[in-house]
Amino acid sequence: MFAAIVVDLDPNLFQVGPFLVTWHGVFSVLGILAAARLGQYLARQDDIAPERIYDMAVWMVVVGLIGARLLYVWENYAQFQGHLQKIVLLNEGGISQWGGIFGALLGGYIWCRRNDINYRRVLDLAGPANALGFAIGRIGDIINGEHHAIATNLPFGVEYVNAKTLGEPGKVVHSEVAYELIFNLLVAILAVVTYRLFKRRLPDGVTGLIWLSVYATGRFFLSFLRTDSLFLGLRQAQWASIAMVLVSGIAIAFWVNRRDSGAKPPVPTVAE
C-alpha cells in the first residue's frame, strides 16, 4: 500500500426537523435529472418529441424509486425491523440500483402503453441515459461509504474516518463505487458517440439492451470487490446482472431474427 485516500466527509448535508438531506440523496436526484436530460437530447435524433421525455421520466423515476427502495429493504430488512416508518425515508439513502433499473424500465413501459409510444425506441434511450445517471449517483456513494468493499490489493485504497461515515473506519479498502463511476461514465460516453451508428444498423430496442448488458457485465465483475451477502455463491447484484444479460440476449436475438426474416428477398433480374 503506497497511498490511502482519506475520506473525512460527513455523509449528511443538513437537517430540517425530521428531514435529513444527505449527499447520497442529492447526487441521486442530480443523476436522475442528468439521465432525463440526456434522454431528451437523444430523443431528438429518434423522432420522439423531447418535451415528452420529462413526462415519461416522471413514471420512470416514481416506479424506479419504488423498485429501488423495495429491493433494498428486502435485502436489508434487519435495518428496518421495529422502524418500518424508515422505509419511506429515501432522503437518508438506501436504494438498490438494480431495483431502480427494473422499476424504471417498468415505469417506462407503462407510460408507453398509456401514450401509444413504441417502447423499444424508448428502451434505446435508457442505455446511455442510465449509465450517466448511475455515474453521477455514485458520487454520493463515494462520500458516504455506504457500500462496503474488501481490503485493497492495489497501491492505493480509500479509508473512511468521519465519525458519521457509513463506511468502515480503520480499514483501507477498494473504492468499488468509484470504479463503477468511472466505468459508467465510459459506457455513457461510448453509448452517446455510437448512438446514431447503432440506431441505423440495428432494430429498435437492441441498442439500449446492448448498453444495459455492458453495464450488467461490468457490475457483475466489480461486485466481487463488495462484501455484500452471498446467495448460492454470488451476490444479489451479480444474479441481477446475469438476469439482465440473459433476458437482453434473448430479446436481441428475437428482434434481429424477426427483422431479418421479415426482409424481402431481392427481385431477380431477367437477362435480355
pLDDT tens by residue, 147-162: 888 999 888 889 898 8
pLDDT of residue 265: 47
For the cut 80, the answer to whether the pLDDT of residue 36 exceeds it is yes
Residues 28-49 have a mean pLDDT of: 82
- For residue 72, give the H/E element and its range: helix 50-75
Q: 10 Å Cβ neighbour count for 215?
A: 25
The per-residue pLDDT of the chain, averaged, comes to: 83
* 46-50, 183-187, 252-256: range with lowest mean pLDDT: 46-50
Locate 200 and state its grid cell: 441505423
List, in order, residues 6 or more apart from 263 with CB less than 8 Å away. Answer: none
- For residue 68, give the H/E element and its range: helix 50-75
The CA radius of gyration of the chain, in Å to the nearest whole number, is 21
User: What is the C-alpha to C-alpha distance for residues 201 and 187, in angstroms, rounded to an integer?
Assistant: 19
Distances from the Cα of 2 to the Cαs of 39, 156, 174, 177, 243, in angstroms?
Answer: 41, 6, 13, 20, 38
pLDDT of residue 91: 53
Q: How confident is the model at residue 146 (pLDDT cuts 50, 70, 90)?
A: confident
For the cut 90, the answer to whether the pLDDT of residue 236 exceeds it is no
Cell 457509513 sits on residue = 166
Locate 43 and state its grid cell: 430523443
List, in order, residues 6 or more apart from 17 with CB less than 8 Å away. Answer: none
Question: Contact at 8 Å (CB) between 119 and 108?
Answer: yes
pLDDT of residue 188: 95
For the cut 80, the answer to whether the pLDDT of residue 261 exceeds it is no
pLDDT of residue 272: 40
pLDDT of residue 268: 47
pLDDT of residue 72: 72
For the cut 90, the answer to whether the pLDDT of residue 216 exceeds it is yes
pLDDT of residue 83: 61
User: What is the C-alpha to C-alpha distance for residues 166 and 223, in angstroms, rounded to an integer?
Assistant: 18
Smallest CA-to-CA distance from 94 within 120, 68, 126 is with 68
Residues 102-124 have a mean pLDDT of: 86
Q: How confident is the model at residue 242 (pLDDT cuts 50, 70, 90)?
A: very high
Eight-class DSSP state of 271: P
